[in-house]
């Protein structure tokens, strides 16, 4: 049974980040994607600087390919991302010195995105990585000061208003790093979500990226208990929660790959216990195409090897989905 079939039975999305180049040129890449996943995220192609590099110029060919592929294969799309303070916002935006003009640029960008993808992309990372990468404080790029200290609320409001103006109602999410493992980031993430909700904004959910970059970037893996606790803390806000960018560094040895499979199984089994968890997305699916290689070397972080053969990681994920599907089936029998 494919991951996709298991996820359908489990009532969740199982997704992968994709890039347009192999989607266009590599049949194995395309085939594995559409067979095994029911959701896609554009790894880079829907980021602001890629989609809308100049005020009057949109470059949508690659993003369109991803959206069309998803549509043809009955897959959901997670839009990534409207606003990412760390990267991928063009200079003509970050160079604005007036708050009104900067927010007008955000509004214009969001309206353009919603007008083009309103029919195909129903779930957006409205703000990606609102916090500092490793510390429990908001991202503090100097240009954000032009908007002011409440910039997440201001930006989120502009995005929600833009959707209403265009006449669409996409889900708007926050997507956060390392709240799965750093408790001060978890606390700030929940606080920020609460602030958005208190401001009456339509925060639909929180994406936990869950890049398991151990030991190179973060000291330790989340424990299954810790991940379940974060997922539960988000669910307690009454909103949805997703794993949005999971990958997990391995020693590329047989034993290392088996250990990796165990970690995937344990972490996702714990997260999938939570009914408000509606999506598990990996940051790629084959070790042939992963951002990890450029940053951390050959660390085999994904579910398929470079020849598209399923790894122990694949089996671990399948087991976690199967477990949730069985629990769901049991609950439905009881009802
Ligand atoms: O496409 C250009 C190419 O034309 C050029 O020659 C080359 C020279 O550096 O750069 C290429 O662009 C790179 C792009 O990836 C495509 O490979 C950019 O420099 C590089 O910065 C970009 O990195 C991406 C990064 O986000 C920054 O946007 C990674 O692929 C992507 O995996 C990564 O994804 C992020 C999520 O969006 C947010 N969460 C963390 C995650 C991992 O860092």
Go through 154-184 and write b for each residue having 16 or more CB atoms within 10 A of its CB, e for each that does not: bbbbbbbebbeebebebbbbbbbbbbbbbee
- Conformation bin of residue 250: beta by default, left when phi > 0, alpha when psi is -120 to 50: beta
CA–CA dist 183, 189 (Å, integer): 10
51, 113 in Cβ contact below 8 A? yes
**What is the number of the ligand 1 atom nearest to the C-alpha of 283?**
32
| Structure-token pair, residue 238 | 């009454």
One-character DSSP codes across 262-282:
HHHHHHHHHHHTSTTEEEEEE
> Atom 42, ligand 1: which residue's CA is nearest?
291
Q: What is the pLDDT of residue 43?
A: 98
320, 265 in Cβ contact below 8 A? yes
The rounded Å distance from CA 45 to ligand 1 centre is 10
Q: What is the pLDDT of residue 133?
A: 87
Q: What is the pLDDT of residue 331?
A: 86
List all residues whose CB is within 6 A of at least one atom of ligand 1. Answer: 43-44, 47, 87-88, 128, 209, 245, 291
| Structure-token pair, residue 328 | 């769901």
> What is the distance, to the nearest Å, from the Cα of residue 229 to the centroid of all Cα atoms in its chain?
19
The rounded Å distance from CA 255 to ligand 1 centre is 30
φ, ψ for residue 9, nearest 5 deg: -65, -30
Residues 6 or more apart in contact with residue 209 via CB below 8 angstroms: 175, 176, 177, 178, 180, 243, 244, 245, 246, 283
The rounded Å distance from CA 53 to ligand 1 centre is 15
Q: Give SS3 for 219.
A: coil
Q: What is the pLDDT of residue 40?
A: 98
Q: What is the pLDDT of residue 85?
A: 93
The rounded Å distance from CA 44 to ligand 1 centre is 6
Work out the burial of residue 153: count CB atoms within 10 Å of its CB; fewer than 13 is exposed, 13-18 middle, 19 or more buried.
Answer: middle
Listed residue (164, 159, 163) closest to 128, CA to CA: 159
CA–CA dist 106, 142 (Å, integer): 17
- To the nearest 10°, report the CA torsion of 75, 152, 243, 7: -30
**What is the number of the ligand 1 atom nearest to the C-alpha of 290?**
32
Q: What is the pLDDT of residue 276?
A: 98
Per residue of the chain (335 residues), give pLDDT as tens: 999 999 999 999 999 999 999 999 999 999 999 999 999 999 999 999 999 999 999 999 999 999 999 999 999 999 999 999 999 999 999 999 999 999 999 999 999 999 999 989 999 999 999 999 888 899 989 999 999 999 999 999 999 999 999 999 999 999 999 998 888 999 999 999 999 999 999 999 999 999 999 998 988 999 999 999 999 999 999 999 999 999 999 999 999 999 999 999 999 999 999 999 999 999 999 999 999 999 999 999 999 999 999 999 999 999 999 999 999 988 888 87
φ, ψ for residue 88, nearest 5 deg: 70, 15
Q: What is the pLDDT of residue 258?
A: 98
175, 125 in Cβ contact below 8 A? yes
CA–CA dist 317, 296 (Å, integer): 23
CA–CA dist 132, 138 (Å, integer): 5
């Amino acid at each position: 049974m494919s991951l996709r079939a298991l996820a359908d039975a489990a009532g969740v999305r199982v997704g992968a980040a994709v890039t347009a180049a192999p989607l266009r040129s590599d049949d194995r890449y395309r085939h594995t994607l559409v067979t095994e996943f029911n959701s896609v995220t554009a790894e880079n192609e829907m980021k602001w600087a890629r989609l809308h590099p100049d005020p009057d110029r949109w470059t949508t060919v690659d993003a369109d390919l991803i959206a069309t592929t998803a549509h043809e294969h009955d897959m959901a799309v997670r839009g990534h991302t409207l606003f990412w303070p760390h990267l991928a916002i063009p200079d003509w935006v970050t160079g604005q010195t007036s708050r009104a003009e900067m927010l007008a640029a955000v509004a214009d960008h969001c309206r353009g995105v919603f007008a083009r993808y309103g029919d195909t992309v129903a779930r957006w990372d409205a703000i990606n990585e609102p916090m500092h990468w490793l510390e429990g404080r908001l991202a503090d790029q100097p240009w954000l000061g032009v908007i002011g200290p409440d910039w997440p609320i201001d930006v989120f409001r502009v995005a929600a208003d833009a959707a209403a103006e265009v006449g669409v109602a996409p889900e708007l999410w926050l997507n956060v790093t390392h709240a799965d493992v750093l408790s001060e980031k978890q606390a700030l993430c929940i606080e920020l979500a609460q602030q958005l909700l208190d401001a009456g904004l339509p925060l639909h959910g929180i994406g936990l990226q869950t890049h398991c970059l151990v030991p190179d970037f973060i000291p330790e893996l989340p424990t299954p208990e810790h991940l379940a606790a974060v997922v539960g803390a988000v669910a307690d806000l009454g909103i949805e929660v997703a794993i949005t960018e999971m990958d997990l560094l391995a020693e590329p040895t047989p034993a290392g790959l088996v250990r990796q499979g165990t970690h995937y199984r344990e972490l996702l089994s714990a997260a999938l216990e939570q009914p408000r968890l509606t999506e598990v997305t990996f940051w790629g699916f084959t070790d042939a195409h992963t951002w990890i290689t450029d940053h951390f070397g050959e660390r085999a972080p994904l579910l398929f090897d470079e020849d598209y053969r399923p790894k122990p990681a694949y089996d671990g994920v399948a087991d976690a989905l199967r477990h949730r599907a069985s629990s769901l089936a049991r609950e439905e029998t009881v009802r």
